[in-house]
Amino acid sequence: MSFKMMPLFFEELGNTLTMTFVSSFLAYIIGIPLGILLVVWARDGIRPMPRAQEALGMIINLIRSLPFLILLIAIQSFTRTLVGTTVGTRAIIVPLTLASAPYIARIVESSLKEVDAGIIEAAKAMGASTWQIIWKVLLPEARPSLLINAAIAVTTILGYSAMAGFVGAGGLGAVAINYGYYRNQNAVMWTAIIFLVVVVQIIQSVGMWLVKKTDRRVR
């Protein structure tokens, strides 16, 4: 592989990181409230609303069941309306966010369900409001699990961004496909793979470091 391609690799690495982290941020803005509602509205939740919880769960499961590439194509009109284009880094953020938010809602739900019910009952007995229980009990107690799952979620979104190279989204996935696969340049493909593996390892390492810093149980 020519060293002349290295600037391209670093440029597309930047595009990959932009797609991944912007989409992750937006997906968490949507997914955290949804995950909280799934827990709060459950039959044994802080404020039970079983029918609303079941309806929300069905919508989340419906979106999660759609393969990412199909969702990406299906909402092209919506993406064009929202950002003015259906190709490039900016455009792929829309389907990445919509595909990731339901997944994040479920992992947030899973993390919050790990909180000891006794702690929640104690907060109720002390007269804490629903919001206080969420903000001062559920989220702090679930923080280590939320951080571990966040690292998993970001690496999953990174994988989605690589697949988006098939539709001209840019990023390392596009380099691997356009130069490595279509032009049969295996060195280019494997270099892109190595870049992606390194990014995944860094994300996982940062996630575990944050867990150790915030988990009171390991102090």
Q: Is 215 a residue whose pLDDT tops 70?
A: no
Dihedral, CA atoms, 154, 159, 160, 161, nearest 10 degrees?
90
pLDDT for 167: 67
C-alpha 214/C-alpha 150 separation (Å) is 14
Asked if the model's pLDDT at residue 202 lies above 80, the reply is: yes
**Range in 61-65, 94-98, 163-167 with the lowest mean pLDDT:** 163-167
Strand, helix or coil for residue 151:
helix
Whole-number pLDDT of residue 166: 67
Q: Which residues contact 28 (CB under 8 A, 6 or more apart)?
A: 104, 150, 153
Q: Residue 215: name the closest of 109, 107, 142 by CA.
A: 142
- All domains of the chain in start order, with CATH: 3-218 (1.10.3720.10)
**pLDDT tens digits, residue range 140-194?**
999 888 998 999 999 989 888 877 776 667 788 878 877 777 777 778 888 888 8
* pLDDT tens readout for residues 24-41: 999 999 999 999 999 999
The model carries a pTM of: 0.88
Stretch among 25-29, 60-64, 93-97, 192-196 having the lowest mean pLDDT: 192-196
